[in-house]
A and B are shown apart, each in its own frame.
Chain A
């Protein structure tokens, strides 16, 4: 068996990395904003709002990501809505991760101690003030482990955008491989790239988590 990878193509392959990172970052950011709103809608919304948010979450968590991408990329143009391939990718990933993030935020929001909500109310805070000053600051810290997990997942799932011609790491890899017919070797190198990226990102997230930790809040909190 020969390992037929032309290492001179490494820089070319590396050019897919920024695209992968860009897609991931854009998608996760979109998912964050939308996810927070969905979670707030679920927890504090009246029946209609709560129902809509719930429906959204169930649909986007219950259907495959690739199908969602295809609907946006192949389906929407048939009703007149056309986006660039890159936008389609980011949109699909973003809408998808929003549903998952919404559930994580909901869990975090609901785990803020009830007594503190009472205390906020007895100080005279309105509901929006309570959400802004007591619930969200704590929820954002509580959610960090799940959120980091989701980020890593998005990093890996970003690879699906190659199916709609986006030249991310996967896309570039496929291009190189189909040119030289060395799929196995090329994708072994691609795998290596992902391993390194995932490792760096997860270590950074862990360091970040340690930095913003507040004693008594979040992981390993002692119950009083």
Chain B
């Protein structure tokens, strides 16, 4: 078991790489979708809502298969890792857009009014006034998304590239007695990831918090040090 541990731990880096990449994709697209839903015209916001509905209703595994086998049909060639990033990333963007939309809607209407009456255009107001606040409010919900998604990286197993679970499987397929140890090690790795991630995000939340700006329903967390 000792000799395979480094192999498994190294493979976990692949999952980390995957989670950061897909969260990045999800963040950018999710923000865009949320903005469209709140500020877009009737058509744009409708499209955004449909997008969200589609990517929240299709299972991650199905999306992974679609993005793995699809692009070649259209003449694009992407590798398994990229397929996983796209599939899980777009899916995450749908969930993240929900988080951002909630945060945007929690910002008092007066903020937008003040920005516009200063002469700011709609885009500038959203970018400079609304989004900075919305991002801060989103951290708590975003932490949930992170926890969820880090574990979902194992679903990339279905795409066939060597992330941690597939590595573990490759090991115990030939050495059956290692099945439990390797799988338990994988489980522990994720416990560590989730814990570390939650702690880090919690710290971030406290660091960049704005006193008085909270999601409705949260109780004076700011006052506690």
Are A and B direct contacts in the complex by CB distance below 8 Å? yes
B185 to chain A, nearest CB (A): 10
Complex interface: chain A residues within 8 A of B151 (CB): 63-65
CB distance from A7 to the nearest CB of B (A): 18
Complex interface: chain A residues within 8 A of B147 (CB): 61-62
What does DSSP make chain A's interface, helix, strand, loop or mixed? Answer: helix
Partner of A62, one of B158, B177, B191: B191
Which of these, B70, B154, B157, B180, contacts A184 with CB under 8 Å? B70
| Segment of A30-38, A44-52, A157-165, A209-217 engaged in the interface with chain B | A157-165
Whether B177 and A156, one on each chain, are in contact in the complex, defined by CB atoms closer than 8 angstroms, is: no
B184 within 8 A of A: yes
Interface band, chain B: 35 or more
Interface SS of chain B: helix, strand, loop or mixed? helix
Quick check: is B57 within 8 A (CB to CB) of the other chain?
yes
Interface hits, B169-203 → A, CB 8 Å: 169, 172, 176-177, 179-180, 183-184, 186-187, 190-191, 194-195
Is A66 an interface residue, CB under 8 A from the partner?
Answer: yes
Q: Which residue of A lies closest to B186 (CB)?
A: A67
On whether the beta carbons of B58 and A160 are closer than 8 Å, the reply is no
Q: CB distance A62 to B186 under 8 Å? A: no
Is the beta-carbon distance between A71 and B58 smaller than 8 angstroms? Answer: no
Residue A75 is within 8 A (CB to CB) of chain B in the complex: yes
Contacts of A74 in B (CB 8 A): 169, 172, 179, 183
Q: With an 8 A cutoff between CB atoms, is B61 at the interface?
A: yes
Q: In the complex, given contacts A64-B190, A156-B59, A170-B59, what are 11 additional A-B residue pairs having Cβ atoms less than 8 angstroms apart?
A: A1-B73, A1-B74, A64-B165, A67-B154, A71-B180, A71-B184, A71-B187, A156-B57, A183-B69, A191-B62, A194-B59
A residues adjacent to B (C-beta < 8 A):
1, 58-59, 61-68, 70-71, 74-75, 78-79, 156-157, 159-160, 162-163, 170, 183-184, 187-188, 190-191, 194-195, 198-199
**30 residue pairs bridging A and B, Cβ less than 8 Å apart:** A59-B191, A62-B190, A62-B194, A62-B195, A63-B151, A63-B191, A64-B152, A64-B165, A66-B155, A67-B190, A70-B165, A71-B180, A71-B187, A74-B169, A75-B179, A75-B183, A75-B184, A78-B179, A156-B57, A157-B59, A160-B61, A160-B155, A170-B61, A184-B73, A187-B62, A187-B66, A187-B69, A194-B57, A194-B59, A194-B62
